[in-house]
Structure formats: structure tokens, C-alpha cells
Amino acid sequence: MKLVITEKPSVAMSIAGVIGAGQKQDGYYQGNNYLVSWCVGHLVEPANADAYDERYKKWAYNDLPIIPEKWRYEVTRDKQKQFKVLKELMNRPDVDALICATDAGREGELIFRLVYHKAGCQKPFERLWISSMEDSAIKDGFDSLKPGAEYDNLYASALCRSQADWLVGINATRLFSVLYGASLSVGRVQSPTLAMLTERDAQIRDFKKEKYYHVHINPAGADATGEKIKVKTKAEAIQAVCDQQQAVLLSLTTEEKTVNPPKLYDLTTLQRDANRIYGYTAQQTLDLAQALYEKKLLTYPRTDSRFLTSDMLQTIPVIVNQAALLVGFIRGNVGIPIDYIGQVINDSKVSDHHAIIPTLTISDYDASTLPETERSILQLVATRLVCAIHEKHVFEAVTAVFECGGHSFTAKGKTITTEGWKAVDRLFRNSLKQEIEKEDVEKTLPELTEGQTFDGVDAAITEHTTTPPKSYTEDTLLSAMERAGSEDTDVDAERQGLGTPATRAGVIEKLVHRGFVERRKKQLISTEKGINLIRALPENLTSPKLTAEWENALTEIAKGGYAAPEFMAGIKVLTRTLVRENTAAREDLKPLFEHKKQAVGVCPRCGESVFEGKKNFYCSNRDCSFSMWKNDRFFTDKKKTLTPELAARLLKDGKVPVKGLHSAKTGKKYDAVVVLADTGDKYVNFKLEFSKNTGG
């Protein structure tokens, strides 16, 4: 009997169906001499600091650095039941071998190995390595299982990454939180990402707008523009010299230019486009792509490759045609040039997984039954595949240089000679219901000849204003994270930039959740809390260089060219140095972290500020008895919570419509207006008002 262990229940179900283990049991499938179970993501994780010593429950500078001599691992609290299932299955007498079928990558390897070791299992295991959940891919994978030992170096690399992040994250977070008396979360990827956001926001805040001017002339209707001029009077002088004068065409150059088809999607570029076009967050896109993967409609999404492998040459034409049918706007409008498929093949640029493409399953699937969000992602991936196998977009760029009144003016135009892949892109853009960024309108110049003269040209001035850098969106931040530290990263490193394709979305969500960053429509803006944190941290924690150095080393560990103990020794030195060099808070930064209570509203009795406490919302005036208690029966009986938002609206408006109030008599829900009916007595009263608008 062989035990197959996957990362997620949905993957276990798919694999079980293919290998004939169709009998559903409690926490696993069974059949055909197989057991198939799952980990539910990270079942086993590094233990918290207080697992090593009780005193670590309190954060103190003198206890730092915390560096375990022997690492401890714990089963995640809410996943105890599934771990128990796996442990029992691993130790069943009739199970003689295991198959690791977690996601084929560094983190997937870590998930399986930690469970394997925590369960005390010593049975031999093999490795399943696939990039698609299609039945054929699973069958092929089981026909070519590899000995688990071949992935020992990958596991060593993953373990080093996990332990190094723990050491730096735990110690740096405690260190700066203790020094500044505030909760300051620090992370190897999180902190440099936040630093990029705060730097961009500072550039925008400090930007000073400046006006500048262009003088234009219009020979034969062409718009020829002069140089950028900062002083208006100088522009006016040039206009006066050129207006109604003769212009001469000094030079006319034509250059053929090409725009290559876009590469296929990896996770980051898919997240970027989904954010730019649909406004999806990086996490939403990852979740949607994962759902499509589990429905067998997309290949593995957590990839950093943008190419396919040569063994896929036979199936790609079929998938391309199915993709074209899926996005109906393509068929009948543009051909499918199969001859160009070779440009998406590059074995040397595929690491764990190839690029994200649709699977053959889409031919038998009614995409109209998918949620709109999933359908959008599937359409995006299908369109990209069809674009990628098209020919180049070719155009002639024409540059005309004129002389008038002793000044030079330039006009530019272009003529498309081969639309190529942009024909597909244009159809896709036209199919979208919402507006997205449009490309520059194609401009053509009139027929011109060098030496040609133009009498009585008009001259005009246009006024412009310099613009600040744009705030980061998830699209542009993901791009910046991907490129960060690249100058310090070896080109052969498995991962470059900040984080991995699979973790970048989580980093952004963490920054937002912890209040360091806020979303304003598509923009990501650093908060005062985030700005202050970056000010307090040393440069080596806010620079992407640290991550670049780690990824270089981790790649070498995975290849067997660098020893894991040597890497971890360096991390321990880094951690000790960090604590030793930061013994006290900077005096100029201390005031930034002083706790400032935010008022919820104004007291209706005395006009002083009302603040939130643990159990109530109270007036800051000690002589005033106004208080709204969170456990007031008025709200608890109706199964509603007196939240800060609700309290603020009651204090501001005196009343607020509330939906879904519970009736103790009928057990049903209803809508009403909650009124702050304060009579000045010891206890504040509330009452209900009903109207047509509240459904009463």
C-alpha cells in the first residue's frame, strides 16, 4: 500500500480519481492499493519563541537574540485533526511507502518534509512532480516518480529560508517593538516592500510642479514640436520669430521597428494585468487562478517561468485553437499562425513549472458557468497564449526635422505594415466592457520630401506642467518587487526580487492588514504608521539587497553547491549584530511612536471627546458619566455588536439605519433605525424607529 500526500484536499480528490482510490474515508481516499490524503497547506510550522522558554512570553531586550540550538516544530492549532489522520496513515503497518505530491516547488517540499519528520516517519518516499492537474499529466507523473532523496537539497534550501525568516523576523520585530514601545512588525520581504512604498510617497509629497512650454509649427498639417522651454517669454519670442515664416524640411528618416509578441504569463505578470485591467488585487488573482487550476482549466499558477517546454510541442497547437474558441472574439477575425509556436518554447527558462496556460480540459467545459471573476482570468490567460504565438507587430517610424526662424522642430509619425499579435490584443481590448489604458493613437505624416519648403506656417505655444511620480498600484508594485535587488542577484538564482510569485500577494495583504499601507481605489499608499516604521529600521532591513544575497545562497543550496550550515551560521551572525548595534531608540523618533488615542466622536452631554475602551465608549471628561457599553442588552439581544463605526455614527448623527437585527420573539431578522436616546441619566438608552426605508 502506498500513501500519497498532497497539499490541498481538492488536489487529493483529483489524484485519487486518476489512480483509482475512489473510496472516501475520514480525511483520506482509499482504493487500488493507494491511500491519498492531504496537508491543508502548512500543517507543521516553526514553534513560537515561548515554546523554547516561558520567559519569552514577555518581550524584553535582554532576552535577545533568540536563537534556538535545536529547532522545534508544532502542528498548526486548527489543523490538529488532519495531522492526526496523516500520522496514523503513515504508521499503518500496511503502508510500506509514501509519495510526496505536494506542490512541485521549494515550499511544497518543505510542507511535506515537516509533516513527515513531525510524524516520526522513516518509510521510503518518492516525488510526484507535475505542472497540470489534468488526468493525463497526473498519469504521466505517476509513471515517472523520482526518489525522494533527489530533492534533499531542495528541502535544505526551503528549511534554510524558513529558519532564516524566523530568526530575522522574530528578533527584529521584538527588538524594535521593545525599543519604541509599539507593535512594529519587521520582515525580510515585508520591510523592503514597505520602504519602496514610503519612498515613492515621499517623492510625490515633495514634488514641486513646474510649468514648461512647447512651440509648435504646422507645415503641411504636420504637428512639429520644438524643444522644452521653461521660460514663457522665451517661448513667446520663438513663436514671434517663426509665425507666418518659411519652414524647411531638413531631414526625413524612416526606420522599421518591431514589437515582439508578449511572453506567456507567470503568476506576477498575470497579477499585474488583472490588477490593471480588472482591478483585482494580487491575492484575488492568485485565488482565482488556483480555483481554475483545481478545476483543471489552468496549469499550475505559482510559477515564475514564462515559457513552455519542448515536450509540449504536439499539444500546444490544440490548446491554442481551444483558447481561440474560448475567447470567441478571436475566431474569424485573425488567423492562428501555428508556425510561430516555437517562440514560446525554451527549456532552459523553465524551472519548477512552465508558464500559465489553459489546459485541454477547456474544450469540454462550459466557461459561461464560471463566476465572472474566474472567467475573466481564464480569458486573460487564453488571450495571452494566442498573442504569444502570433508574429511580430511591425511599423515604420517616420521622423521629420524642420527648421524655421533658426529653430528646430520635430514631427513624428508611424505607419503599421504588419499588425501581427496586436490584432488579437486590439480585439481583446474592444471586447472589454470597462475602459482600460489606451495606446497612443497612430499618427501618419503627410507626404514629405527632404528640402521641401513651406511658406507662412502658423506657430503656437502649448503650456504644460511637470507631473509627480505615480503612486504604486498592485500592478506597478509587483513589478518593482520582481525587479528589486536584481543588480545584486545572480542571473541563475531561482528567485529574484522581493519574495516569490506565490508570496508577494500575501506580503501586500499583510502590509494592509497591519495598517502600514492603505488602498485608495487601485493605489497603495503608505500610512503614517508605515512611514514611522521605516524611519526606525536600519538600512540593511529596508534594502532588497539582503533578500538578493539570501536568494543567491538558497539557489546554490538547492543545487548542492553551498552548505546549509554555513548559510545558517551567517544568518545567526546577522541576527546577533542587529541586536548588538541597536541598543536604544533614536531620541528624534521616540515621539512618533507615542500612543495617540483616536477619538470616536464628541460627547452629546459635554462636548468632550469620546474614546473606545475595552468594554465601552466613554467620555474623556471625568466629571461626565456618558458611556455606551459594548455589552448593552439592547444590542446583544438583537445579535449586533456596538462597533466603533456604529458608535461614531450614533455620536455624529444621533441615529443610524441597521440591517439584520434579530427578533427574540420571532427568530427572524429585520431592519430598523437605531436611535441614541440619551436622557442624561446614569445609563444611555437606545430605541428603534421603523420606516418604509428600513422595511419595518
Residue 406 binned pLDDT confidence (cut-offs 50, 70, 90): very high
Burial of 430 (0-12, 13-18, 19+ CB in 10 A): exposed
Alpha-carbon distance 499 to 551, whole Å? 9
Position 613 scores a pLDDT of 87
Cis ω before 65 (30° cut-off from 0): yes
Bridge partner list, 229: 213
Residue 624 binned pLDDT confidence (cut-offs 50, 70, 90): confident
State pLDDT tens for residues 425-470. Answer: 988 988 886 555 555 556 889 999 999 999 999 999 999 999 999 9
User: Is residue 495 scored above 70 in pLDDT?
Assistant: no
User: Is residue 692 scored above 70 in pLDDT?
Assistant: no
For 211-260+394-465, CATH number out of 2.70.20.10, 2.160.20.10, 3.40.50.300, 3.65.10.10 equals: 2.70.20.10
Q: Do 148 and 108 touch, CB atoms closer than 8 A?
A: no
**What is the chain's mean pLDDT, rounded?**
90
Alpha-carbon distance 574 to 568, whole Å? 10
User: Is residue 194 scored above 80 in pLDDT?
Assistant: yes
CATH 1.10.460.10 residue ranges of the chain are 161-204+471-591
Position 330 scores a pLDDT of 67
Burial of 349 (0-12, 13-18, 19+ CB in 10 A): middle
- For the segment 146-167, the average pLDDT, to the nearest whole number, is 95
261 three-class SS = coil
Strands (E), 354-458: 393-404, 407-418, 453-457
Position 490 scores a pLDDT of 47
Fold of 267-391: Topoisomerase I; domain 4 (1.10.290)
Q: Do 144 and 130 touch, CB atoms closer than 8 A?
A: no
Position 492 scores a pLDDT of 47
CATH 3.40.50.140 residue ranges of the chain are 2-144
User: Is residue 571 scored above 50 in pLDDT?
Assistant: yes
Fold of 161-204+471-591: Topoisomerase I; domain 2 (1.10.460)
Alpha-carbon distance 381 to 176, whole Å? 43
- For the segment 632-654, the average pLDDT, to the nearest whole number, is 92
- For the segment 125-134, the average pLDDT, to the nearest whole number, is 88
Calculate what percentage of the chain has a pLDDT beyond 70.
Answer: 94
17 grid coordinates:
480519481
State pLDDT tens for residues 328-350. Answer: 776 555 556 677 889 999 988 88
Q: Do 413 and 443 touch, CB atoms closer than 8 A?
A: yes
State pLDDT tens for residues 458-475. Answer: 999 999 999 999 999 999
229 grid coordinates:
522651454
Of 25, 24, 28, nearest in space to 2 by CA: 28
pTM of the entire predicted model: 0.78
Query: Given this structure, which CATH class describes domain 2-144?
Result: alpha beta
State pLDDT tens for residues 533-549. Answer: 999 999 989 988 888 78
- For the segment 15-35, the average pLDDT, to the nearest whole number, is 95
User: Is residue 488 scored above 50 in pLDDT?
Assistant: no
State pLDDT tens for residues 374-394. Answer: 999 999 999 999 999 999 999
DSSP secondary structure letters along 592-661: GGS--PPP-EE-TTT--EEEE-SSEEEES-TT---EEETT-HHHHTTT----HHHHHHHHHHSEEEEEEE
Q: Do 264 and 344 touch, CB atoms closer than 8 A?
A: yes
Alpha-carbon distance 106 to 96, whole Å? 26
Instruction: Give the distance from CA 250 to its chain's centroid.
Output: 50
Q: Do 187 and 169 touch, CB atoms closer than 8 A?
A: yes
Position 596 scores a pLDDT of 67
- For the segment 543-567, the average pLDDT, to the nearest whole number, is 88
CATH 2.70.20.10 residue ranges of the chain are 211-260+394-465
Angle at 155 between CA 149 and CA 156, to 5 degrees: 105
Position 696 scores a pLDDT of 44
User: Is residue 201 scored above 60 in pLDDT?
Assistant: yes
User: Is residue 411 scored above 50 in pLDDT?
Assistant: yes
389 three-class SS = coil
Residue 126 binned pLDDT confidence (cut-offs 50, 70, 90): very high
Alpha-carbon distance 243 to 249, whole Å? 16
113-117, 131-135, 339-343, 484-488: least confident range: 484-488
Q: What is the DSSP letter of 290?
A: H
Q: Do 494 and 248 touch, CB atoms closer than 8 A?
A: no
User: Is residue 518 scored above 70 in pLDDT?
Assistant: yes
User: Is residue 530 scored above 90 in pLDDT?
Assistant: yes
Position 437 scores a pLDDT of 57
Residue 239 binned pLDDT confidence (cut-offs 50, 70, 90): very high
Of 126, 43, 123, nearest in space to 86 by CA: 43
Among the listed residues 28, 155, 300, 562, the single catalytic one is 300
Residue 487 binned pLDDT confidence (cut-offs 50, 70, 90): low
Position 40 scores a pLDDT of 86
Position 493 scores a pLDDT of 45
Position 202 scores a pLDDT of 96
Residue 396 binned pLDDT confidence (cut-offs 50, 70, 90): very high
Calculate what percentage of the chain has a pLDDT beyond 90.
Answer: 70
Position 694 scores a pLDDT of 46
24-38, 307-321, 572-586: least confident range: 307-321
Q: Is 683 a catalytic site residue?
A: no
Residue 219 binned pLDDT confidence (cut-offs 50, 70, 90): very high
- For the segment 9-21, the average pLDDT, to the nearest whole number, is 93
User: Is residue 491 scored above 50 in pLDDT?
Assistant: no
Alpha-carbon distance 142 to 19, whole Å? 9
Q: Do 479 and 508 touch, CB atoms closer than 8 A?
A: no
- Phi first, then psi, for residue 338 (nearest 5°) are -60, -25
CATH 1.10.290.10 residue ranges of the chain are 267-391
User: Is residue 513 scored above 50 in pLDDT?
Assistant: yes
Of 306, 278, 478, nearest in space to 378 by CA: 278
Position 325 scores a pLDDT of 85
Q: What is the DSSP letter of 264?
A: P
Q: Do 359 and 298 touch, CB atoms closer than 8 A?
A: yes
